[in-house]
Structure 1
Amino acid sequence: MKLLKSSLLGSAAAFAAVGAAHAADLPVKKAVPIEYVRVCTAYGAGFFYIPGTDTCLRISGRARFEGGYQTSYSRQYGNNIGDTSGYQGRMRINLDARTQTAYGTLRAFVRLDAGARTGYSGVGQSGTQQRIGQAYAGIGTDQFGRDSQYMNVDKAFIQFAGLTAGRASSFFDFYAHDFEIAGATAGSDIFSTNLLAYTATIGNGLSATISIEDPVFRRTPIFSPFGVSPTVSTGSASNFGVTVQPTPIFVGPGRFGLVDSIEKSRLPDFVGVVRLDQAWGSAQLSAATHELNAGNLSSAANAGGLGTGPILVPAHTKNTQGWAIQGGVKINTPFIAPGDALYLQGAYGDGAQLYTGYSNYTGSYIQSTTTIQGQKFAQYFSDATINPFTGQLQTSQSFTAVASYLHYWSPEWRSAFFGSYGEQSFSQSARAAQGAIYGLVSGLTGAPGFGTNAVGVPGTRFYQLSQALRDTYQFVAGASIIWSPVKDLDIGVEGFYTQIGLKNGRAIDLDKNPGAYNLVTQINNGSYVPRTASQDSVSQVRFRVQRDF
């Protein structure tokens, strides 16, 4: 037995030796080297080298749930109102790529925002974002005007040696609702526009920027009395825009023609900024120009068919330059609590309403908006009117002032307190001129209808009560409380109050008298006395859960 065991072991050893000899004769395949992802520490936490390059990349993002409640004063038949709640789920993906060069850091940054939003405009889905192609409406029976999918290329820019080119936040903006959830205060906040800018770093925290910016996202419509502005809440899936916006002007005795008041693109907006960043905070002075460029007079210069006199106005509307200025300061107040800060900001605009941000709460890519459900009268947001006697543009004026304070009760708990006030005004001559053309056009058979955009004939009762081109004000006040139990997780609630009002006089109450604008004659002769209002208000609450990574 012992002999057998020794024989077997010997045989195994022999086979092993032979196998090893054969293996030594076979080619050995070299393992592919593994290139591990390396951490990049040059630009802060989260960056890593893209394998095979010297470019550092950081991937980050956000997930958000938001629900809201807004008071509603009306459930009018067929007007797609009566909702008080809204919800949204949002996502964000950021890619930040940086490479060190002999000229400094070369950076490319892209951000994609997307989400699903439901509920009435102002709480859930946004009609403004649908109008500028950032959201897409559902068209079901119960969904249209209440449901939209949101998609926006929020950022896509390149930075190199002081140059910024691409889609980015406007350099004009300063506060931009940094401490707010809903962003309800009046103030400029164009977070996505196309631009080409150069920033010069002077030293000691001082910098200066010249920016050429896309004017489309800063346009508030030129006033048209015919009310053909695009809408997203009529119930018609096809009524999403217009190709012409006729505005009447006098062309001779008893005659009028039509100017297309949809703005054309020619010059960009020019923005200049001086900014100071110090340990105590920041300060910024901004200025901008904004061209208003309307269309020509139509060839049908005898529209209305009255009179045969000569044409008395030029064949086109002369372009004009709107402008705006803004000043702001941010003061860090760590002596109250670490992280505390105060923003103060003021802006004034002439023919450049979106630079002051007066319409920020409601949006103004149509000339009159009613975000408050059952709103008593519409606010008119127009950069200019077209004088029907001269065919030239008459600009509106607006200003806003905002204050916002962030306070940390503890490292996990913080609150923001904010408020704003703003006004928009039209000259008396501009409104009276629109009343004069109303007096001509409204009496013609087959002439377009004015609807709620009617100005009325100056001196009449209807003119005094019409909502069109009235000087208005807006006041906003609110506060929030946010809990951050762990890093990059926010759970918070915000409430705010918004009041709009007329600076002078009263207007027809559209909620109580929805058909009053069809009763012009009766209002003027006293046979119908409409309900009126001088101000309206709404309260809103937002709840948010947000995780950044």
Structure 2
Amino acid sequence: MKLVKSLFLGSVAGLAAVAGAQAADLPAKKAAAVEYVRVCSTYGAGFFYIPGTETCLRVGGRVRAEYRYVEPLSRAEDSIGFRARGRVQLDARTATAYGLLRTFVRLEITRNTGVYAGGGVASDAQAAQAFIQFGGLTAGRAPSFFVNQDLPTGNWGGVVGFYDFPDVNLLAYTFTFGNGFSASISLEDGEGTNVADAPYFSPAGERFPDVVANLKYAGTWGSAQLSGVVHQLRSVAITSGGVGVIPDTEYGWAISGQVGVNLPMLAAGDALFIAATYADGALSYLGLGTSASVGTVSAPVAEAYYNPANGEIETGSGWGVYAGLRHYWTPQLRSNIFGSYVNVEYDASGTLVGLPDFHAWTVGGNLIWSPVSGLDIGVEVLYHNIDRDPTLLVLGNDDDRWEGRLRIQRDF
């Protein structure tokens, strides 16, 4: 019996040894190499390398919930409104022998009701920003180069002339001189500007874009920018005395100085901005639309109009001053106070065709709490006033209006 047991155990051991030797002779299959996502610190926080490339990508976005109150004019008018806005954006950057190659895409959708929708009917809106930067070249849809995007405005609404949203298609080039100095020249679509069409002017087709130029300095203390633009004004044939008349082409222009100053001596993050703009025949660069309205008073805004007395295109002119201050009470609690004043004037012929002179101003302030990074919860209050001069023997009048808003916003 012992002999049988010994033979059995010996056979098992031999088989195991043979099997192990055969397994060792089989080719081993290697696991596929794992390519981990690498952090890209070259362009700031949030960027990472796209696997297999030298391109850095940042995925970001925003969700905003906003609730607004506007002093109503009548019982039939809404006084409140709701807004929900979502944004997704991609920022891809690659270092090349010719400089930075950057591609930026931002898609934004908005749902408005009440006072946001203008009449209480719910509305949806979409906005897109897409541009390519290659060295000093910028091509696509982006904010106008007329505006200094480094200004610490801090206001949520009501101050015309400053914004961070895309508003124009353009082709621009920026020359960098070093030590914080740069200059840009930009060809921008002028179709979005406003020209009077009531009753003596009908704009003709665009023959060349708005030409915008700026000279800018950005440093540790803040930034300063001097901007200018030339805008073409053309009219189709106008019937005057039974004869079609084509007035000569005119050119509008605007110039602006914009300065932002950091104030760390008050508190970390504190800053001040102030800007002044003058426009002649290019009133849209004051931040105005086709009309200025407060309460029951509305004044049309015309960059140009036809004067039947001399058969020429006349231009509207105006100027505006904008200022604001940001202060951090604590690292999580900050306030912004801000204001704007705009004055628009036409000559006597402008008054005769229904274009009264006017001035409008706004002051406001907000208080914003950021309990965690990227989350803002705050309230803002604004006061608007407009004063319009007499027109066609109708007494001039003025009106004012209050509004407030609550905003909850998450940026990532």
Check 1:188–1:493 CA distance in 2 against 1; reply closer, same or farther (3 A cut). Answer: closer
How far did residue 204 of structure 1 move? 2.4
Task: Give 2:371's aligned residue.
Answer: 485
1:268 aligns with 2:180: no
Secondary structure of the 1:185 match is coil
Query: Could you tell me which of 139, 152, 156 is aligned with 1:182?
Result: 156
Residues 76-87 of structure 1 mapped to structure 2, 5 A cutoff: 76=76, 82-87=77-82
1:403 aligns with 2:328: no
Task: Give 1:546's aligned residue.
Answer: 409
- Whether the 8 Å CA contact 2:364–2:381 is kept in 1: the answer is yes
How far did residue 91 of structure 1 move? 1.6
Query: Could you tell me which of 263, 280, 286 is aligned with 2:221?
Result: 280
- Greater per-residue strand proportion: 2
Distance 1:3 1:547 in 2: 82
Secondary structure of the 2:297 match is coil
Task: Give 1:98's aligned residue.
Answer: 93
**Counterpart residue identity of residue 186, structure 2:** S
1:475 aligns with 2:361: yes
Distance 1:178 1:5 in 2: 91
Task: Give 1:172's aligned residue.
Answer: 146
**Counterpart residue identity of residue 108, structure 1:** T
Deviations 1:225-252 (A, max 9, x none): 3xxxxxxxxxxxxxxxxxxxxx4xxxxx
Secondary structure of the 1:216 match is coil
1:113 aligns with 2:118: no
How far did residue 349 of structure 1 move? 0.5
Check 1:347–1:24 CA distance in 2 against 1; reply closer, same or farther (3 A cut). Answer: same
Check 1:48–1:4 CA distance in 2 against 1; reply closer, same or farther (3 A cut). Answer: farther
Residues 142-541 of structure 1 mapped to structure 2, 5 A cutoff: 146-154=121-129, 156-174=130-148, 178-189=152-163, 191-217=166-192, 219-225=193-199, 247=200, 261-297=202-238, 311=243, 314=245, 316-357=246-287, 359=288, 364=289, 367-368=290-291, 370=293, 372=294, 375-432=295-352, 434=353, 468-504=354-390, 534-541=397-404
Backbone CA RMSD of aligned residues? 2.7
- Whether the 8 Å CA contact 1:177–1:185 is kept in 2: the answer is no
Check 1:7–1:89 CA distance in 2 against 1; reply closer, same or farther (3 A cut). Answer: farther
Task: Give 1:65's aligned residue.
Answer: 65
Distance 1:412 1:495 in 2: 20
Deviations 1:300-323 (A, max 9, x none): x69xxxxxx773x63x23221110
Distance 1:310 1:491 in 2: 62
Deviations 1:99-149 (A, max 9, x none): 1122222222222222222122xxx23x6xxxxxxxxxxxxxxxx853122
Distance 2:400 2:302 in 1: 21
Deviations 1:426-467 (A, max 9, x none): 2112333x3xxxxxxxxxxxxxxxxxxxxxxxxxxxxxxxxx
- Whether the 8 Å CA contact 2:276–2:319 is kept in 1: the answer is yes
1:88 aligns with 2:8: no
Secondary structure of the 2:330 match is coil
Secondary structure of the 1:378 match is strand
Distance 1:503 1:211 in 2: 36
Can you give the 5+ residue segments of structure 1 that lack an aligned partner in the other structure? 77-81, 128-143, 226-246, 248-258, 303-308, 435-467, 509-531
Distance 2:5 2:305 in 1: 111
- Whether the 8 Å CA contact 1:86–1:118 is kept in 2: the answer is yes
What is the number of equivalent residue pairs in this alignment? 411
How far did residue 3 of structure 1 move? 8.1
Distance 2:71 2:329 in 1: 30
TM-score (norm 1): 0.69
- Whether the 8 Å CA contact 1:186–1:400 is kept in 2: the answer is no
- Greater per-residue helix proportion: 1
Distance 1:480 1:408 in 2: 12
How far did residue 16 of structure 1 move? 3.5
Can you give the 5+ residue segments of structure 2 that lack an aligned partner in the other structure? none
- Whether the 8 Å CA contact 1:292–1:322 is kept in 2: the answer is yes
Deviations 1:209-232 (A, max 9, x none): 111111123x1132313xxxxxxx
Distance 2:311 2:16 in 1: 104
How far did residue 263 of structure 1 move? 4.3
Secondary structure of the 2:112 match is strand
How far did residue 44 of structure 1 move? 2.0
Task: Give 1:451's aligned residue.
Answer: none
Distance 1:46 1:343 in 2: 28
Check 1:335–1:13 CA distance in 2 against 1; reply closer, same or farther (3 A cut). Answer: same
Check 1:422–1:506 CA distance in 2 against 1; reply closer, same or farther (3 A cut). Answer: farther
How far did residue 177 of structure 1 move? 7.7
**Counterpart residue identity of residue 355, structure 1:** Y
1:32 aligns with 2:32: yes
Check 1:21–1:296 CA distance in 2 against 1; reply closer, same or farther (3 A cut). Answer: farther
- Whether the 8 Å CA contact 1:491–1:545 is kept in 2: the answer is yes
More divergent stretch after superposition (403-412 vs 104-113): 104-113
Task: Give 1:519's aligned residue.
Answer: none
